[in-house]
Structure 1
Amino acid sequence: MKKIFLFLSLITLLACEKQEDLAKFTVSLDPNNTYIAGDPVIFNLSGNPDYISLFTGEKGSQYEYRNRTSVNEEGTKLVFRFSALVSQRAPENSLDFLVSTEFGGITRKGYSTDSALLKNTNWTVLTSELNLPTVQNGSSNVEVDLTEYIDKPTSIAFRYQSDARANVRQPHWELTNIGLFLISPDGVETPAELDIQSLFGNFDYQDKTNPYLYNTTSTNEGKWYKRTVNNSINLRWTEKGTNKPSNLDYLFINPIILNQSKPDMPIGIKSVHEKLSSYSYVFSEPGTYKVVFVAKNHDYKEDKEIIREVVVNVN
């Protein structure tokens, strides 16, 4: 029993010493630094914590955003962009862009339930704000401001409607380069952290057996055809041929928060089995960077951490 007590006492003593050592961790800038973009900046380190990670202060690695899951900075804009191409026939108002904060999402419980949900939702039609192509074989790059929906559960949808015409094919739409982008008050633009292209679902009003299916080939008529090309989702409407009945289809996203963001991440620079007296980092752009070192120790009871902050001005 005495040996067990002595062993536990030794563990406790070592743990206390480790936490005292953590408090001794310091960071200082090397006096030989030039602080010119492209040149290494050397940070001198003292102490020997188990782990050290580094937030460089650059975009995507800022300590204050380590727990961020959405972008809510006042003055941030949210825009939705895509490229549009229409062929086979003049578009004649066959494609609408819709937004709703009231759509509850598709239930996948069958045609009757979900066809009514889509039709009866109070959609806001933003088509008039888009510079969609207006002539056969026309194309355009489209942007629409969705800032007013930035922090609300929101659904986005494309609605395709085309009437029957004798001896004329229905319009063929192709939508590519689809994405959501956040623009900060100082003009810095970043993609929203949503795989927006993959979130689109399909509902085909002419297919009462399985209205949720996309086309699996580009030759079937009257359905959206979804494929990946050059890391971009291509949502291609395969039009119906001549003398075909009218058509109604939706591409939609169930309600989501549009300004989702991944937390900023540090660089791990030291593990428990290493010793580190200095660390070199290259800033590629001029600017003022708030560099944060996070040092951690681990013992049998808990983890402890301490941060050290250094401001670096790079010319």
Structure 2
Amino acid sequence: MLKHIHMKKSFIILLSFFAVACSKKMEIDTPDFNVALDPAKLVSDTFTYRLGDTTRFKFSGSAGNIAFYSGEPGKRYDGRASANKLGKITLGFSSKSEFGTQTNTLQVLATNKLAGLDSAAVVNAAWTNITSRGAVATNATVVPFGTADLTDLVANENDSLFIAFKYSGVTGTTQRTWTITEFIVNNVLPEKTVSLSSLSADVAYWTRYGNVWSPANGRWTASATDLKITGGGGSAASNTSWIITKPLYIGRVPGDVSTGIKSINEPDKEEYAFVYPSPGVYKATFVAFNHTLDEQKSVVRELIIKVTP
């Protein structure tokens, strides 16, 4: 009987110890981590290198994880948080027009107001004709449109924008064939350029509309390299065909990104070598951190680097 009571008390004590141990958070230390560069390169708080030089960041101390922001556009520690910012909205593409002699068969349109994505809503939307804001082809010679400023077509950084190519071919003579390449829409900010749409990124997101597709290939097609519509012969029916981008949320700016140079399962590093690709002044930032599921402790080390031609 006494043995049974003793075993019961021992079991209760073990459970209590286990409960206390599980309720206590794992302790972590703030990283003891520092970064240094060649002191011979230091001039007035700035480390100066020539273009093509290797910048060797020397490490001391220890950290579980290390992330590196080079200071280049899109890789700045100060820009790591996403935001809504409106810069200059630009459109660029190239075009060529083959076969036939029909004129005014391509219009480039834009709107920030679409009531819906059905064909009636698209056709009846308040489109702005922006064809004249650049150059379009008149024959098989590829013509760059140029860089058109579309900022006036949006209200603020929370607005959206649609770009459309509208094709018109008329029965009676050979209809034109159009090819659009190098399509790009950007939000150009002082600190970086954000791509809003490109052929390679958005190949699956174009939407097509039309009243008559005769012949069967008389409709826009989208690929990772071009948009194309093939006109019919002289006996083909008149054809109006649209192709429209996805909604472009013009002010959405993703946060800048870092490069992970050490994870917790790797040994400590003595240095990190990096070559800046172009002249400029950069704030190189290292974030060293230790973490558990419950918390994270980190240190930030920054150095100003000037790269000369």
- What is the TM-score of this pair, normalised by structure 2? 0.78
For 1:68, the aligned partner's letter is S
SS in 2 for 1:64: helix
- The separation in 2 between residues aligned to 1:305 and 1:60, in whole angstroms, is 22
- 5+ residue gaps, structure 1: 107-113, 208-214
Residue 31 of structure 2 is aligned to residue 27 of structure 1: no
Query: In structure 1, what is the Cα distance between the partners aligned to 2:55 and 2:143?
Result: 45
Give the counterpart of 2:119 among 101, 115, 118: 115
**CA–CA separation in structure 1 for the residues paired with 2:20 and 2:305:** 44
Matched residue, 2:227? 235
CA distance 1:221–1:242, change in 2 (3 Å):
farther
Does 1:47 find its partner at 2:40?
A: no
- Are 1:225 and 2:231 counterparts? no
Give the partner amino acid of 1:26: N
CA RMSD of aligned residues (A): 3.1
Once residues 241 and 233 of structure 2 are traced to their aligned partners in structure 1, the CA distance between those partners, rounded to angstroms, is 16
Give the match for residue 94 of structure 2. Answer: 83
Q: 1:280 to 1:116 in 2, by over 3 A?
A: closer
Deviations 1:114-151 (A, max 9, x none): 23112211111112223123x44454111322123373
Counterparts of 1:8 and 1:279 in 2: how far apart (Å)? 42
> C-alpha deviations, 1:223-264, integer Å up to 9, x for none?
123344xxx2x2111111112221111111242213544432
Aligned to 1:285: 278
Partner of 2:212: 206
Q: CA deviation at 1:181?
A: 3.2
Secondary structure of 1:93's counterpart equals coil
Tell me the secondary structure at the aligned position of residue 284 of structure 1: coil
Q: Could you say which residue in structure 2 is the equivalent of 1:299? A: 292
Structure 1 match to 2:245: 253
Q: Is the CA contact 2:194–2:253 (under 8 Å) kept in the aligned structure 1?
A: no
1:142 pairs with one of 141, 145, 158: 145
CA contact 1:193–1:261 (8 Å) conserved in 2: no
Partner of 1:275: 268
Q: What is the CA–CA distance in structure 2 between the aligned matches of 1:237 and 1:13, rounded to whole Å?
A: 63
Question: 1:2 offset after TM fit, Å?
Answer: 7.1
Change beyond 3 A, Cα 1:117–1:68: same
Task: Determine if the alignment matches structure 1 residue 174 to structure 2 residue 179.
Answer: yes
8 Å Cα contact 1:202/1:252 also seen in 2: yes
Amino acid at match of 1:248: T
For residue 52 of structure 1, report the CA deviation from its aligned partner: 0.9
How far the C-alpha of 1:91 sits from its partner, in A, is 4.0
- Structure 1 letter corresponding to 2:184: G
Q: Distance in 2 between matches of 1:131 and 1:13?
A: 65
Is the partner of 1:53 in helix, strand or coil?
strand
Give the secondary-structure state (helix, strand or coil) at the position aligned to 2:62: coil
How do residues 62-77 of structure 1 correspond to structure 2 at under 5 angstroms?
62-68=76-82, 72=85, 76-77=87-88
Match in the other structure for 1:310: 303
Question: In the superposition, relative to structure 1, how do residues 303 and 65 fare at CA in structure 2: closer, same or farther (>3 Å)?
Answer: same
Provide the secondary structure at the position in 2 that maps to 1:102: coil
Residue identity matched to 1:225 = T
Task: Give the equivalent residue in structure 2 for 1:164.
Answer: 171
Quick one: percent identity of the two aligned structures? 26
Q: TM-score when scaled to structure 1?
A: 0.77
Matched-pair contact (CA < 8 Å) for 1:99–1:123: yes
1:104 to 115, 122, 126: 115
2:221·2:229 contact (CA, 8 Å) conserved in 1?
yes
Post-superposition offset of 1:82: 1.3
User: 1:162 Cα deviation (Å)?
Assistant: 2.3
The letter for the 1-side match of 2:131 is: T
Larger Rg: 1 or 2?
2
